[in-house]
Structure 1
Amino acid sequence: MKFLLGNIQWFILILLCICMCAKVEPPGGGPDDKSPPEIISVIPRAGSVNVSLEPELEILFSERMKKETTEKAIFILPLLFDYPRFEWSGKKLSIKLPEKLKENTTYVLTVGALAVDSHGNKLGRTQSFPFSTGQTIYTGSIAGRVLNASARGMDIWAYKLDSPEIGMFWMSIPDYITQTDSLGEFQFEYLSYGIYLVVAVEDKNNDQFFTPPSEKIALPDTLITIDENAMEYKPLFMIASELDTLKPYLSKVESPDDRKVFIEFSQRMDSSSVFLKSNYKIENLEDSILTVSIVDIYPYSDDKKTIVLECPGLVTGNKYRLTAVNLYSIYEIAADTLVQIFEAGGADTTSPELIKISPKPGRQALPAGFDIKFMFSESCDTNDITQKVFLSDTLKVPVSFKIDWEYPNLLVVKPDFQSGEAYLFSMDESSIFDLAGNPLGDSIMIYEYYTAAEDTFGQVGGQLINYPVDSIIVEAISENGESTITFSSDNGKFMFNKLFPGTYVVRAFCDTDNNGQFSCGKIKPFRFAEHIIFHVDSVTVRARWETDIGVFDFKSSSD
């Protein structure tokens, strides 16, 4: 019994000693790691020459990296036929090449800006490490910017061409790849002599092939030659857009009633062909004597993917064959002859709808001089339309306006607005009918519009030089994507007189096709984008203040 008590006393004494020696520590953790990772070293070292044709490639990062994301951001340029194999050991990445390198060739180990550490921090800028299997490292370079590169960045691909002839380049793997940084900027370095086609691609599936239309692409305005007389080219400006190489087809054809046929295409269509009545033919398959006349064609949506054929006299329940010819997508791809069978619907007893108003009514002030567009779901009776709408100021004083029908379902109101005023536009829905006599509604709708005072605006001006054509459009793009355009004078000067305060990107392009908007080029057959330049910095506009942004030079540094 005494032995047992003695053991217990010793146990308690030891436990007290342990507790007295224990330290009180603050809880673990701390501020989140927001610092971008760094590249500590690479093998072979940048600038190495006479490198083995079967080299060991290694990259040591300052942080542990997210393996899959980082591997997708690493390229050996010129690209190899197959993918390399990656092996990780903590912060060190070993790259196993799938094939021997070529003799006397400059290679570049590139780590893209989208490489990410384990805390989610991006590398932030693309870094390149050149080495050569011969005695010389080439130093050619191409730099530029993609204005509308997405937040996830875009791949920049360079194809080295044997000649200035551009074929179906998108069917080949590019020779060089890099990525845009957070500003959309990019640079290729250590290029050998040759002719290069440079494009930007939103390569969503990371296969180094352009996949339209799900992936956006930006085409250049020229080929770039790197030689002993021109070792660098900058800046190359590009704008990403949707381009397709596939022929458009009919997605859906249906007749909701005995007056109309809705046609939905697989792509946005070219207005000059899709709204031409002679490009369509409708045949009654149950009574060939009954002819069908198409009296009008109009869009059901702004994107021109869905249109409506106005065909009074369709026989309910009869089957018809629609044939469409000579149609083109907005990408200038010709459709085959399109044929679809449909059944005519019943009597039209459905009221039309007002599906869009542009600009949207509300308290957001706008510069005086804008038109108001009302898009209806179908053709409307245009007789006496001026008696069915009313425009006034807030004191009920009438304001003059003009009316135009851009399409049978698109009413354009051209008001005589003054600056710094408020206006009311009213529409009697019960007096507006579709062609079957169905009213728009039973209410009087009132829409408010406000115009900004003259002292609200700021001005931005500048000078164009070395512009290759006379037709130059200058564009100021606000942070929310709204665009204001102006034109240069004969001496190259330009001025935006009414810009709201804020931050803008200013760009200028050669409107070589005189269509009033930037043309992004064509994939098949290939056509370059129009020549475009950006102001280096964003422009801040202040009310009642004129900002001179200086010279816009259309001449690249390699010319």
Structure 2
Amino acid sequence: MKEFPGLKILAPILIPALFAACAVDRPPTGGPPDRSPLSVTSTLPDSAAINASPQTIRIGFSHYVGRSDLSESIFFSPRIDDYEVSIHGKEAHIRLYDPLQPNRTYTLTLRAPLKSLDGVHQLDRSLTLAFSTGPVIDQGAIEGRVWTNRLAPMQNATVMAYAASRSNAIPETRPDYIAQSGPSGEFRFQHLAPGSYRIVAITDDNGNLQYDPETEVFAVASTPTVQTGMSGVGLRFAPENYSTRSLHSCRTINNREIEITFSDTLPAGSFDLSAIRIENTGTGASLPVLGYFSLSRSSEETTFRLLTAPMEDRAWYRLRFSPGGAGSQLSELTFSGNAHTERYPELSVSIVPANGEDNVIAETIRPESGSSVELQCNLPVAESSVKPAVTLALSERGQDKPLPFTISRIDSRTFSIAPFGGFLQSKDYRVKVKADKLKELVGSPSRSALVESLFSTAGPEQYGEIIGSGTANAPAVVVEARRIGTEAPRRMVAKTNASGTFSFDFHDLPAGQYTITGFIPSASGMLSPLTEWWDSGSLTPFTPCDPFAALTVNVRGGWTSEGFRLDIPGSRRSGLNSSRPQKKP
């Protein structure tokens, strides 16, 4: 047979390329793209198998996975360290080299960040394969739900169970079991050894199964331990510690603006310019920071722009950020001055809602500011000049009745205007802004003497009501209604009767999805909805959170949603543990 030398040269190139092409996970041509989650299609041994001592565990997947990603996703309980992962098409083989203990239940958990090779398909929750080397398999289970601090369902939280029978220091030690929360925040531990466990959740951004306080947040249960067989275990994450934020990068836009990016989000309204210091590295002279803003006007941002006094060309500057508070650290960056001089326009002003707008739901303009309207400027202005330039009035029968109001800074270009007691329904209001009285920090003054908006608020048909009841082993509870994803809740104190039953009623709620939560506060004495805040507990030392219960409710305009139950587990009598500090979420 005649040989072709070129084939010998091409073979080492073509054959690997052919096999690589076969392993690419592509949808068939001509149909819709496959967006299904990654799933397990088969296992050997079968889940819940008994009298099984496999040397190799086989797992079939719905899509191709990578060996390295799969290896990082695997968690064995009890611990198995010596094993090897290999991939054979859509099937993974896990070769065990550590001997298995007799009459013992083993669980293999796949963590939810596991994705397919193309990155499109991902486990939507953790998956557990269990088998026993003896005739009996552990059947212990604990299930519950994980919430963000703002009470939205939390997906992909890492939930860890530590056996209470052994001495351990959370979060330094390896957990005995892990699970991850699904799309609705639900989690479930299966095939646990019977007993009590300490339950903890973390965001676990780096996947090391340890709490890293500088970058992560935690949640603990409301009891020191949880017994197998328990359901309805609630885990709510602690408030984020904004004092751990640090500078990530900075760049100059012109000789008056610096764009800075932080390691994580910061609330725009509480951004403290006194935490920022800029100095000339050559002369030591300070560069004044006059204002700040975000291009998006968002309530939380990672990137802000600082407005400064003019920089010197070719000078080097040091930017320092010291947020203060527990766990805070000084971070700093250096940058070179920018020679470009920006030609800023004249100041212009707009009001949200616009003039003539009807059916305004003021609670939705900026939910964290409550019932309010908004002043938006194209340039940063001095905060002290805003309130003297603004008037708010209730307009009835052609007459304007001035109203007292507050001004809240979102950033140096954006401000919320809120009347005492909020806006009433089905009323006309007029907001006036004397634009020429605003003090611009850059650019030229506004040539418009007056900007105004006359608008009408929505009627009761745009609002709904929630009525419910619950039980708690405490004299009183605090109940909150919070629109999902927002920071500011509606709150009330509900007293319990002799049988521990309480009732709650929230009215005038804008349509949308809400989380209703009730908690037993750790404070003593008379309770006030203005001063009592849920206590998230702590990890070190381990302290349970305030007992709470939560549920989601869909509010429809003009409707009353009723029949909801908040049965709060645990108990706390007035005065118990009253020395614990109160933390506002």
**What SS does structure 2 have at the residue aligned with 1:143?**
strand
Change (3 A) 1:236 1:103: same
Which stretch has the larger CA shift, 127-136 or 355-364? 355-364
Change (3 A) 1:441 1:178: farther
**358, 361, 365: which one aligns with 1:366:** 361
- 2:403 maps to what in 1? 401
Identity %: 18
**What SS does structure 1 have at the residue aligned with 2:230?**
strand
Which stretch has the larger CA shift, 398-407 or 67-76? 67-76
Q: Deviations over 1:133-172 (max 9, x none)?
A: 3565333322111346889855544455743532446xx5
> Is the 2:436–2:447 contact (alpha carbons within 8 Å) kept by the matching residues of 1?
yes
Q: Deviations over 1:502-554 (max 9, x none)?
A: 5543223456698777676778998876654222x645556253613134323
Alignment of structure 1 residues 152-301 onto 2, 5 Å: 153-160=156-163, 162-163=166-167, 165-168=169-172, 174-192=175-193, 193=195, 195-199=197-201, 201=203, 209=209, 219-222=219-222, 225=225, 230-239=227-236, 248-249=246-247, 251-252=249-250, 265-268=262-265, 275=272, 277=274
- 2:145 maps to what in 1? 145
Alpha-carbon distance between aligned partners in 1 of 2:248 and 2:40, rounded to the nearest angstrom:
52
Unaligned runs of 5+ in 2: 1-29, 364-369, 497-501, 524-529, 572-585
Alpha-carbon distance between aligned partners in 2 of 1:274 and 1:30, rounded to the nearest angstrom:
49
Letter of the structure 2 residue corresponding to residue 534 of structure 1? A
Alpha-carbon distance between aligned partners in 2 of 1:107 and 1:392, rounded to the nearest angstrom:
69
Alpha-carbon distance between aligned partners in 1 of 2:247 and 2:168, rounded to the nearest angstrom:
33
- 1:490 maps to what in 2? 495
**535, 545, 568: which one aligns with 1:553:** 568
Change (3 A) 1:293 1:420: same
Alpha-carbon distance between aligned partners in 2 of 1:254 and 1:539, rounded to the nearest angstrom:
46
Change (3 A) 1:199 1:111: same
**17, 42, 62: which one aligns with 1:65:** 62
Unaligned runs of 5+ in 1: 1-28
Alpha-carbon distance between aligned partners in 2 of 1:263 and 1:40, rounded to the nearest angstrom:
49
Alignment of structure 1 residues 122-141 onto 2, 5 Å: 128-134=128-134, 137-141=137-141
Alignment of structure 1 residues 299-310 onto 2, 5 Å: 302-303=299-300
Alpha-carbon distance between aligned partners in 2 of 1:121 and 1:286, rounded to the nearest angstrom:
53
Q: Deviations over 1:205-261 (max 9, x none)?
A: 8x55579899976522357636xxx33333222356877996623633869668x88
> Is the 1:198–1:223 contact (alpha carbons within 8 Å) kept by the matching residues of 2?
no
Alpha-carbon distance between aligned partners in 1 of 2:414 and 2:292, rounded to the nearest angstrom:
8
Q: Deviations over 1:433-486 (max 9, x none)?
A: 3156832464855546442223443321333433669673412435x8686422
Change (3 A) 1:437 1:155: closer
- 1:378 maps to what in 2? 380
Alpha-carbon distance between aligned partners in 1 of 2:340 and 2:504, rounded to the nearest angstrom:
57
Deviation at 1:420, TM superposition (A): 1.3
Alpha-carbon distance between aligned partners in 1 of 2:31 and 2:279, rounded to the nearest angstrom:
75
> Is the 1:351–1:440 contact (alpha carbons within 8 Å) kept by the matching residues of 2?
no
Bigger radius of gyration: 1
Alpha-carbon distance between aligned partners in 1 of 2:48 and 2:138, rounded to the nearest angstrom:
13
Residue 332 of structure 2 corresponds to residue 328 of structure 1: no
Q: Deviations over 1:409-449 (max 9, x none)?
A: 65442347431134453445444331568324648555464
> Is the 1:462–1:495 contact (alpha carbons within 8 Å) kept by the matching residues of 2?
yes
- 2:439 maps to what in 1? 433
Change (3 A) 1:151 1:366: same
Alpha-carbon distance between aligned partners in 1 of 2:405 and 2:539, rounded to the nearest angstrom:
40
> Is the 1:179–1:186 contact (alpha carbons within 8 Å) kept by the matching residues of 2?
yes
Alpha-carbon distance between aligned partners in 1 of 2:354 and 2:222, rounded to the nearest angstrom:
40
> Is the 1:501–1:542 contact (alpha carbons within 8 Å) kept by the matching residues of 2?
yes
Change (3 A) 1:418 1:109: closer
> Is the 1:103–1:133 contact (alpha carbons within 8 Å) kept by the matching residues of 2?
yes
Deviation at 1:494, TM superposition (A): 2.4
Alpha-carbon distance between aligned partners in 1 of 2:509 and 2:142, rounded to the nearest angstrom:
34
Residue 98 of structure 2 corresponds to residue 99 of structure 1: yes
**What SS does structure 2 have at the residue aligned with 1:494?**
strand
Deviation at 1:107, TM superposition (A): 0.8
Alpha-carbon distance between aligned partners in 2 of 1:306 and 1:212, rounded to the nearest angstrom:
23
> Is the 1:87–1:94 contact (alpha carbons within 8 Å) kept by the matching residues of 2?
yes
> Is the 1:275–1:297 contact (alpha carbons within 8 Å) kept by the matching residues of 2?
no
**498, 518, 521: which one aligns with 1:508:** 518
> Is the 1:220–1:236 contact (alpha carbons within 8 Å) kept by the matching residues of 2?
no
Letter of the structure 2 residue corresponding to residue 365 of structure 1? V
**What SS does structure 2 have at the residue aligned with 1:458?**
strand
- TM-score, reference length from structure 2: 0.63
Change (3 A) 1:549 1:86: same
- TM-score, reference length from structure 1: 0.66
Alignment of structure 1 residues 39-58 onto 2, 5 Å: 42-43=44-45, 46-49=48-51, 51-52=52-53, 54-58=54-58
> Is the 1:521–1:529 contact (alpha carbons within 8 Å) kept by the matching residues of 2?
yes
Alpha-carbon distance between aligned partners in 2 of 1:117 and 1:324, rounded to the nearest angstrom:
42
Deviation at 1:270, TM superposition (A): 8.4
Deviation at 1:188, TM superposition (A): 0.4
> Is the 2:221–2:544 contact (alpha carbons within 8 Å) kept by the matching residues of 1?
yes
Change (3 A) 1:425 1:109: same
Change (3 A) 1:420 1:154: same
Alignment of structure 1 residues 352-363 onto 2, 5 Å: 363=358
RMSD: 5.7
**What SS does structure 2 have at the residue aligned with 1:67?**
coil
Deviation at 1:190, TM superposition (A): 1.9
Letter of the structure 2 residue corresponding to residue 165 of structure 1? A
Letter of the structure 2 residue corresponding to residue 489 of structure 1? A
Alpha-carbon distance between aligned partners in 2 of 1:109 and 1:177, rounded to the nearest angstrom:
10
Letter of the structure 1 residue corresponding to residue 323 of structure 2? L
Q: Deviations over 1:100-157 (max 9, x none)?
A: 3344432124578899999x99998876553333565333322111346889855544
> Is the 1:401–1:414 contact (alpha carbons within 8 Å) kept by the matching residues of 2?
no
Q: Deviations over 1:367-398 (max 9, x none)?
A: 68822243555333755955565656497642
Alpha-carbon distance between aligned partners in 1 of 2:243 and 2:323, rounded to the nearest angstrom:
15
Deviation at 1:185, TM superposition (A): 1.4
Letter of the structure 1 residue corresponding to residue 80 of structure 2? L
The count of corresponding residues between Structure 1 and Structure 2 is 506
- 1:24 maps to what in 2? none
**What SS does structure 1 have at the residue aligned with 2:375?**
strand
**What SS does structure 2 have at the residue aligned with 1:66?**
coil
